[in-house]
Amino acid sequence: MSELYENRELSWLRFNERVLEESEDGRTPLCERLSFVSIYQTNLDEFFMVRVGSLHDQMLLEDNPKENKTHMTAEKQLEAIRARVEELGRRKDTSYNNLMAEVEKQGIKIINFAKLDTKEGDYLRGYFEREILPLISPITVSKKQPFPFIKNNEICAVAVLGTKSGKQRIGIVPCNNGMFNRLIQIPGREGWYMLAEELILHFLPIVFQGYAIVSKSLIRVTRNADIDADKVYDEELNYRDHMAEVIKQRRKLQPVRMEYTRDLDKKILRRVAQYLKIDKDMVFKSKAPLDLSFVFTIQDILRHKKELFFAKRIPQKSPSFDETKPLIPQIMEKDKFLSYPYESIRPFLNMLHEAANDPEVVSIKMTLYRLAKHSKVVESLVEAAENGKQVDVLVELKARFDEENNIEWSRQLENAGCHVIYGLDGLKVHSKLCLITLKKGDDVTYVTQIGTGNYNEKTSRLYTDLCLMTADQRIGLEAAKIFQKLSLGEVMESTDYLLVAPKCLQNKVVDKIDREIQIARDGGDAYIGVKINSLTDKKIIDKLIEASASGVKIDMVIRGICCLHPGVPGKTDNIRIISIVGRYLEHSRIYIFGKGEREEMYIGSADWMTRNTVRRVEVAAPILDPDLKDRLRDFFFLQMADNVKARELHADGNYTYVPHKAPLVNAQERFFEMAYEAVGGAYEAENVLVPTGKKEEK
């Protein structure tokens, strides 16, 4: 059965390879390709911090657990990861070098000392001694001075120091303390820059006077960030203070990777790895800079050259709303739908602001996972509380890497008089659910919003997400029950309309797949359509395999991890899976079961991953309005028709570009074109040349 499954971690690396392909794609504008090579790097950083960190933790367990699809032990997975990361690292280096050669043609150049004359070298020495040397903290490792703590993803210059006695020491200088610019301009050479860490590395003889520099390199350490907040819960602290302590602990967790840029003596390299307690197999050489975030500064410098960037796209007004009139009555009249980033998030924000001031609104309840730094959502909730309305907000403090942001928002909400809940024991609350309760006389009515993405104004312009706003009282009553359960620290045990994890989503999805299986076995036209970010839930995967073998036609758009191999004869040959990686991050989740009168459609917050289906609180809502169903169906099948940015997954686990046959369909561009057309706006078409990726199919 192993031919049917893919290891989760290796599948994720295939996804990041598709991100890297975007940096190699010659028809993508140059400055956008720079973004993709940087995103590839930051994606990989997080992968090591979370997934590789988790595998290291698993290796410490006595029972040596195996993952449930390919039955690889943690050790075997780490071996496979190392080999794949080395292979992709070489591609990343090549892509970076090719991109910087193109950037140089635009008048920007990142240089080293070999490119400078004596006068320029003297200037940089003076600059270093004046502007940088007073701000750095060099350390030499000795019996009296232990190896220093190196922060997560911090770049350090490391030198092997020769002494007069013939012994060698290690010298270390942290390079990115935030007190000086990363890019240093070369005087008299417009557009020429040097990275600050390269300047520090070059002038190590000044830093470590009295020593001979035997060899030197830049290094960067990535630390495990996989800490279980519930397992280390201290009941003596309130939960918010506890999460602040968790963040502090994460910064000190064990290193899981080291990168370096220049050849060091192998003994010294091993010695540094031993000091850091890093497995020697998790030490990687990089020919590209260890942190590529400076490319965004290059983009800013080149911003005046419009041809180097994607054509400007602005989220459009939704034709479903008349924004000159109150929005809540419009939702009462007919279900509404927003599609980000093609349509603006503004109607939802305006609805929330309207609710905060509507005398008939008595309460607002929301689940918050990730928020913008300057959140209009929080502003409206604060306004509602100050206007005397009951405001109940569940703020998920365990939203990874957003904990500090959420802690601060929770304080502001509490100070304004909101009732704040901090999630459930052992479960993250990942749902995107908002319930507005109105009372007129003795009549109580609900307006419910269910989304696929966070309440974040910034990411609504970058991620593709869907937002349903409905006054269907059946949905409103179930949403009210969800909030009642959350306030008691409980979960929904049963539902009639919504799919609600952890107890009422996976089982209901399986039941709906079973229904299609029976229809196929009875000779009917059975169908399943799914758009999600990741597929890892083995119970659902095995049910999809059974469905395919029974004759159910299955279409899937899966951006990231996919642990199922389609196209295996007799088993998964009725399943087609594509991944779209393009200008916008595909983030919406759609489930379709059946055709015609049997057709059921849902949107929601849950991927089909075990962590979502049984370990989180997630909510998916049915699309009941016929017009919205037609729109969602068209949305899904347009994505399945993409032959510009779509890659198809094959039975061997490899992805290739969908064959580029006329008419060319770039789904993301087409959605924006449709949004502009709907309001009569001027739309500037993007270039849609054939991709140049290495895995292209002609």
What digits encode the pLDDT tens for the residues 653-685?
A: 999 999 988 899 999 999 999 999 999 887 777
- Count of residues making up the chain: 698
| Cα 371 → chain centroid | 14
Cα–Cα distances in Å, from 193 out to 124, 182, 196, 347? 11, 9, 9, 44
User: Which has more pLDDT, 149 or 498?
Assistant: 498
3-class DSSP state for residue 113?
helix
| Per-state percent for the chain, helix, strand, coil, to nearest 5 | 40, 20, 40
Cα–Cα distances in Å, from 215 out to 160, 161, 174, 202? 5, 8, 17, 11
Q: Find residue 221's DSSP bridge partners.
A: 258
Q: Residue 29's closest CA among 289, 302, 287? A: 302
User: d(Cα 189, Cα 415) in Å, to the nearest integer?
Assistant: 53
Q: What's the pLDDT tens digit per position in 184-207?
A: 999 888 999 999 999 999 999 999
Model confidence, pTM: 0.92
Q: What is the DSSP letter of 134?
A: G
pLDDT computed for residue 374 by the predictor: 87
Burial class, 476, CB count within 10 angstroms (exposed 0-12 / middle 13-18 / buried 19+):
buried
Which contacts qualify for 324-329: CB closer than 8 Å, 24 or more apart?
Answer: 326/354, 327/351, 327/354, 328/354, 328/355, 328/358, 328/436, 328/438, 328/447
Averaged pLDDT for residues 611-632: 97
Q: What's the pLDDT tens digit per position in 229-282?
A: 444 334 444 444 544 554 455 445 789 999 999 887 777 888 888 888 898 889
Pairing relation of β-strands 616-622 and 499-501? Answer: antiparallel
Q: Is position 430 annotated as part of the catalytic site? A: yes
Q: Which three-class secondary structure string do you get for 528-588? A: EEEEECCECCHHHHHHHHHHHHCCCEEEEEECCCECECCCCCCCCCCEEEEEECCCCEECC
User: d(Cα 3, Cα 454) in Å, to the nearest integer?
Assistant: 36
**Dihedral of the alpha carbons of 100, 101, 106, 111, in degrees to the nearest 10:** 70
User: d(Cα 173, Cα 400) in Å, to the nearest integer?
Assistant: 30
User: d(Cα 259, Cα 222) in Å, to the nearest integer?
Assistant: 8
pLDDT at 228 over 90: no
**Dihedral of the alpha carbons of 588, 594, 600, 602, in degrees to the nearest 10:** -10
pLDDT computed for residue 239 by the predictor: 44
User: d(Cα 300, Cα 314) in Å, to the nearest integer?
Assistant: 19
Q: Residue 422's closest CA among 378, 467, 369? A: 369
pLDDT at 686 over 90: no
Q: Which three-class secondary structure string do you get for 260-288? A: ECCCCCHHHHHHHHHHHCCCHHHEEECCC
Q: Residue 454's closest CA among 340, 552, 542? A: 340
Would you place residue 65 in the very low, low, confident or very high pLDDT band (cuts 50, 70, 90)?
Answer: confident
pLDDT at 611 over 50: yes
Q: What's the pLDDT tens digit per position in 97-119?
A: 999 999 999 999 999 888 888 89
C-beta separation of 396 from 423 below 8 A: yes
pLDDT computed for residue 563 by the predictor: 98
DSSP E strands: which ranges in 452-549? Answer: 463-470, 499-501, 527-532
Burial class, 696, CB count within 10 angstroms (exposed 0-12 / middle 13-18 / buried 19+):
middle
3-class DSSP state for residue 132?
helix
User: d(Cα 53, Cα 249) in Å, to the nearest integer?
Assistant: 14
Q: What is the DSSP letter of 316?
A: B
Would you place residue 599 in the very low, low, confident or very high pLDDT band (cuts 50, 70, 90)?
Answer: very high
Q: What's the pLDDT tens digit per position in 144-153?
A: 788 888 999 9
Q: What's the pLDDT tens digit per position in 75-86?
A: 999 999 999 999
pLDDT averaged over every residue in the chain: 91
Averaged pLDDT for residues 474-482: 98
User: d(Cα 53, Cα 415) in Å, to the nearest integer?
Assistant: 37
User: Which has more pLDDT, 155 or 409?
Assistant: 155
Averaged pLDDT for residues 568-596: 97
User: d(Cα 215, Cα 213) in Å, to the nearest integer?
Assistant: 6
Neighbours of 117 (CB within 10 A): 9
User: d(Cα 436, Cα 350) in Å, to the nearest integer?
Assistant: 13
Q: What's the pLDDT tens digit per position in 361-405?
A: 999 999 998 888 889 999 999 999 999 999 999 988 775 666 777
Q: Percent of the chain, pLDDT > 90? A: 76
pLDDT at 697 over 80: no
User: d(Cα 27, Cα 423) in Å, to the nearest integer?
Assistant: 45
Neighbours of 633 (CB within 10 A): 17
Residue in 430, 565, 587, 650 annotated catalytic? 430
Q: What's the pLDDT tens digit per position in 118-140?
A: 899 999 999 999 999 999 999 99
C-beta separation of 644 from 581 below 8 A: no
pLDDT at 143 over 80: no
